[in-house]
Structure 1
Amino acid sequence: MEFESIVLNIITKSGSARSSAMEAIQYAKNNESEKAKESIRAAEENIALAHKEQTMLIQEESKGKKVEVSLLLVHAQDHLMNAITLKDLAQEFVNIYNKISE
């Protein structure tokens, strides 16, 4: 796969994960715990897909193929890192809202 395609996949999957994480918080806030869990799962799936793309780049570099560090790659890494962090925080919010509603 072409470098730019991999980077754009990381950005798109990370963006989808971030959206799902935010959606999970809103569902939990509205006492829709099953929908919140589904959104967390969707976020996790998209993060896994983005991480898989990132791992491909890392493996290529470890084989000696130099990966060009571009602004687009930095942007993709930033999106992935933020998606992971937000998903973790969303999971905590979902847990808190579930406890409150019990």
Structure 2
Amino acid sequence: MNSEQQIFTLILHSGNGRSFAMEALAFARKNDFESAQDSIQKAKDELVLAHHIQTELIQGEIRGEKADISLLMVHAQDHLMNAITVKDLAEEFVSMYERFETIRNVNS
């Protein structure tokens, strides 16, 4: 896979990860915590794939394979960082929704 293909694949998996994290939040709002956790896992899986590509790019540079710092590369890294942040926050929010639902059920 050439570097441009790696960059686009990094964007793809990062975007998928972010989308699954947002999907988890939608499920949590509906108190569907099993689906929310499933979506969080899918987000994690996608971000692992993205991280592997990022690692390949970094290792290539360490081996002396000069990587061009293009706007597209910056965009891909931005996507990955944002997706990781959204996934982390989604995990926290899903957990809060679950706690609120538990408290609501106890107080009912």
TM-score for the superposition, normalised by structure 2: 0.93
Aligned pairs, number: 102
Q: Does 2:63 correspond to 1:63?
A: yes
Q: Deviations over 1:51-83 (max 9, x none)?
A: 000000000000111111000000000000000
Gaps of 5+ in 2: 103-108
One-letter code of the match for 1:77? Q
Write the distance in 2 (CA, Å) between the matches of 1:68 and 1:44: 28
One-letter code of the match for 1:39? S
Match of 2:77 in 1: 77
Match of 1:38 in 2: 38
Over 3 Å off, 4+ runs: none
CA RMSD in angstroms, aligned pairs only: 0.4
TM-score for the superposition, normalised by structure 1: 0.99
One-letter code of the match for 1:98? E
Match of 1:9 in 2: 9
Q: Tell me the CA shift for residue 18 of structure 1.
A: 0.5
Write the distance in 1 (CA, Å) between the matches of 2:63 and 2:13: 25
One-letter code of the match for 2:56? M
Q: Matched residues, percent identical?
A: 51
Match of 1:51 in 2: 51
Q: Tell me the CA shift for residue 96 of structure 1.
A: 0.1
Write the distance in 2 (CA, Å) between the matches of 1:82 and 1:65: 27
Structure possessing the higher radius of gyration over alpha carbons: 2
One-letter code of the match for 2:94? V
Write the distance in 2 (CA, Å) between the matches of 1:64 and 1:2: 15
